Amino acid sequence: MNITIFGSGYVGLVTAACFADAGNDVLCVDVDAAKVERLRRGECPIYEPGLETLLVDNAWAGRLRFTTSAAEGVAHGLYQFIAVGTPPNEDGSADMQYVLAVARSIGQHMNGYRVVVSKSTVPVGTADKVREAIAIELHGRNASVEFDVVSNPEFLKEGAAVADFNKPDRIIVGVSSDKAAEHMAALYAPFNRNHDRIIVMDVRSSELTKYAANAMLATKISFMNEMANLAEVVGADIEKVRLGIGSDPRIGFDFIYPGCGYGGSCFPKDVKALAHTAHSAGFDARLLKGVEAVNLQQKNRLFRKMQRHFGSVENRTVALWGLAFKPKTDDMREAPSRDLMEAVWAAGGCIRAYDPVAMDETRKIYGERDDLYLASSPEDAVMGADALAIVTEWRVFHSPNFERLASLLRNRVIFDGRNLYDPALVERAGIAYYAIGRGRT
């Protein structure tokens, strides 16, 4: 099948590579000429396990190509995927300018039936706006061309996106015609062989499903962080509580790990956008507001613990393990590490940081500065620091030599934002240990 994908960001590239790997002829369109040239050279602009190999292999096989020409893209694909960014506006709403710009381009160039598929995370009602934008362009050309607009939200976890696409737990398809539903079933047939994972619904329900899923997961995280903060006050151990409630199959263990807050490109943006959608509809989404408020507070929790321990962070050096918002990605959007670093800097302190893959991204964001040292290893980061803070639970951080850490730290203290360690084991090495919801405040 011929597939066009507008946008070569995280969602667009994973979607393009996986469709091409299933034997489809995929053309990826992007306005960034420099990025297109990089992709043509086989360079993957993001870190995602397995993605670069797929891009290179399928480009070499001729199934995956890249262009800056919208006209070429519209002419190529029966399926026109919109996978461009929807960054947040200042009021929390999703910025739809890029989605609607693609819709207008499709309307300007299409001369035959197309299935226009919204893959971007968009507010309820966006498909209607896409349909209207295409129709206006067709009317301006005095052209009568049939098309369908479909909502097909992505549910890709960063760090496991290729596996999620190839073996989805569900494929949500929002349609307004049987014809569109049949085309989408044919497109996803190679990913749907074991059992039927396609859930067909109306377009607005599909659009809301994506936001509701991310908001639900964010809610579980914020709830657990609220319980962790309560555990500190009443003298309980949140890790024991987690085991106690997670064993209930109605709750489960996923997304109930307390920590220093969630980040990334999805949860923070989508919770705000859903709350804005609710407000625009005259509905007061109090729970969503609480989820966001708890998370913002949680991102400052490690720094507050440092302040209480030291009295002042001025002239202190903090070793930071983990910069990406989660393991197996270099994405630092809304990452808790950024909140912590910026708080330390504002208080007059310095950072020595290490992350297995996000060092280049850190340089892009912060550049060269005297109060930031990007270390070559976890041990290098700790050397001569006053404290160690763990912000991302990369596997390489799970089993350190605590006696060695005690000898490298000027002040023997660890602030663990991911509850990786047994407090008794750390303290036997003579290191003060502050975690989330485990006694010390």
**pTM higher than the cut 0.85:** yes
- What confidence tens digit (pLDDT) does each residue in 20-71 have? 999 999 999 999 999 999 999 999 999 999 999 999 999 999 999 999 999 9
Tokens of 398: 């799970």
- CA 1 to centroid of chain Cα atoms: 29
How confident is the prediction for the chain on average, in pLDDT? 96
- Going by C-alpha positions, the residue among 333, 413, 418 that lies closest to residue 85 is 333
Q: How many CA atoms lie within 13 A of 330 on its CB side?
A: 17
Burial of residue 194 (CB within 10 Å: 0-12, 13-18, 19+) is exposed
Alpha carbon distances (Å) from 273 to 34, 99, 283, 340: 30, 15, 13, 25
Report which DSSP code applies to 89: P
CA–CA distance, 339 with 82 (Å, rounded to integer): 32
| Catalytic annotation present for 266 | yes
- What confidence tens digit (pLDDT) does each residue in 145-190 have? 999 999 999 999 999 999 999 999 999 999 999 999 999 999 999 9
- Alpha-carbon Rg for the chain, nearest whole angstrom, is 24
Q: What is the pLDDT at residue 106?
A: 97
Q: Return the number of other C-beta atoms located less than 10 Å from residue 6's C-beta.
A: 29
In this prediction, residue 440 has a pLDDT band, given cuts at 50, 70 and 90, of low
Contact 212, 123 (CB under 8 A): no
- What confidence tens digit (pLDDT) does each residue in 251-301 have? 999 999 999 999 998 999 999 999 999 999 999 999 999 999 999 999 999
- What confidence tens digit (pLDDT) does each residue in 341-362 have? 999 999 999 999 999 999 999 9
Q: Which residue has the higher pLDDT, 90 or 366?
A: 366
Catalytic residue (choose from 18, 28, 260, 266): 266
- What confidence tens digit (pLDDT) does each residue in 120-157 have? 999 999 999 999 999 999 999 999 999 999 999 999 99
- Going by C-alpha positions, the residue among 424, 352, 421, 362 that lies closest to residue 388 is 352
- CA 9 to centroid of chain Cα atoms: 12
- What confidence tens digit (pLDDT) does each residue in 367-404 have? 999 999 999 999 999 999 999 999 999 999 999 999 99
CA–CA distance, 154 with 168 (Å, rounded to integer): 10
Report the share of the chain in percent with pLDDT over 70.
Answer: 100
Burial of residue 383 (CB within 10 Å: 0-12, 13-18, 19+) is middle
Residue 395 has φ and ψ, to the nearest 5°, of -60, -30
CA–CA distance, 328 with 8 (Å, rounded to integer): 20
The β-bridge relationship of strands 171-174 and 64-67 is unpaired
Q: Scan for tokens 């607009």, then name that residue.
A: 149
